[in-house]
Amino acid sequence: MAAEDSAVLSARGISVRFGGLHALDEVDLEVAAGRVTGLIGPNGAGKTTLFNVLGGLLEPVAGSVHLGGADITTWPPHRRGRAGMARTFQRLELFTGMTVEENLTASWEAAHPGAIFGRGRPTRKQRVAEMMELLGLERIAGRTAGELPTGLGRMVELGRALCADPRVLLLDEPSSGLDVGETQHFARILRQLVAEAPHNGHDAGQPLAILLVEHDMALVMEVCHVITVLDFGRRIACGSPDQIQGDPAVRAAYLGETDVA
Ligand SMILES: Nc1ncnc2c1ncn2[C@@H]1O[C@H](COP(=O)(O)OP(=O)(O)OP(=O)(O)O)[C@@H](O)[C@H]1O
Ligand SMILES: [Mg+2]
């Protein structure tokens, strides 16, 4: 499969400067349907900066971002959301006073304006129930989100993002605060999500595309189909987990940091 053909989200030649610092220098990235794409690199490599460019929080000085064929480089975040982009945050962002079920329902309603009344209601109930089942949240549906431990909070956040029926999902350090068992569970769900046919209106028939920015190397190597590596604002490698682990430039970049082997 040529990544170019199936890229749902792509960034081309992205450059970002903070004063004199080249945080990103002509970086390319492709996020394809039915794939988990990893974005890794040592501290300060530019991962969060690129993530923010994709999400519309930061405008690049050069380059363009495309979503499903549209040039979205100058679109604000909410417009990207309506076009099928969903994201999670490194710090949990939930409605802490609402229950788990209410959090998911509110997200569905925000993403489907006008469908709250009448015919939209059965769809809403069904989607929220499906999401809670997939993520193992049924038994805590009535618990207040703000009282949950981080691991469950992350699942609720993922559920909220999925209830918007995205075509592309951007995940920022989703394993932070999770223990080993929870991380394994999270990994299984990510693989399942991209393998499934979508239920939504965006790109009918195309599975979800996921971009994973993550420090946990074991998770990245287990779950990603393809990985892009940044170092000092440049893309130094792009390939399968095996290719990345064997890449001398990647090993050199990580020298003295996390072991990529
Ligand atoms: N708002 C900002 N103002 C000035 N410099 C910034 C700003 N944001 C990031 N930088 C710098 O840009 C470079 C890239 O930072 P970025 O946060 O994108 O890296 P990262 O790969 O996400 O790192 P980490 O793994 O530590 O999260 C770093 O040198 C950082 O210090
Ligand atoms: Mg970062």
Q: What is the DSSP string of 44-60?
A: TSSHHHHHHHHHTSS--
Q: Is 48 in the pocket of ligand 1 (CB under 6 A)?
A: yes
Return the structure tokens found at 220.
């990245």
> What predicted TM-score, i.e. pTM, was given to this entire model?
0.90
Of the ranges 158-167, 175-184, 231-240, which is most confident? 231-240
- Class of CATH domain 1-84+166-261: alpha beta
Interval 202-227: pLDDT, tens? 555 789 999 999 988 889 999 999 99
Residue 10 contacts residue 72 (beta carbons within 8 Å): no
Report the pLDDT value the prediction gives residue 259, as an integer from 0 to 100.
53
Q: Where are the domains of the chain?
A: 1-84+166-261, 92-163
Spatial contact of 140 and 148, defined as CB atoms under 8 Å apart: yes
CA distance 95 to 146: 7
Nearest CA to ligand 1 atom 6: 18
79, 91 Cβ separation under 8 angstroms: no
Q: What's the distance, Cα to Cα, between the start and end of the chain in Å?
A: 26
- Ligand 1, atom 14, lies closest to the CA of 46
Q: Identify the helix (H) or strand (E) that includes residue 120.
A: helix 120-135
